[in-house]
Structure 1
Amino acid sequence: MTPEQLQALLNHTEKLMQQAATRIFAGETTLAPVQYNQTSTLQYSPYKPIMQFDPMLPENQYREIINQDKNTILQQIMREAQQHE
């Protein structure tokens, strides 16, 4: 990874964290756990009963992770960084 790619990745991550914080402070508490290859991240959580996530309900949806290689993801992040310069 080049220094430019690392900086773009750090900037992208910071932007995602700011967006998440903004949504939380605005009162958005919707659950949207990740599902990858038919495996949910919730299956490892000790808080599953508290979250009451039921994928059969229309308001509860998983976020699907698309399987992409590292280079494709870095290219997308670099393009996004260039657009915001």
Structure 2
Amino acid sequence: MSVGIIGLLIIAAVLLVIAAVAVVVVVAVRASSRATPIAPRNDLAARVRWLKTSGRTEQAIHLVCGETGMDQMAATRFVESL
């Protein structure tokens, strides 16, 4: 059984579509894994946890100092306890 030029073109087109779909899926998965979660608004502990899990521990400590009047050492202990 011989596949003509049209058959080869169809096979190539199908493979190209499959590859394009795979690229779109990979890009979408990578983009969603980098999405930053929305920070909680009201609860100080929840906001501190969110900052801490986002790798922003220094900002979390600064937030605690500003919101509570704690000194930096006390705020650091508070953030580390969460």
Whichever structure has more strand as a proportion of its residues is 1
Q: What TM-score, normalized to structure 2?
A: 0.29
Whichever structure has more helix as a proportion of its residues is 2
Which has the larger Rg? 2
Q: What TM-score, normalized to structure 1?
A: 0.29
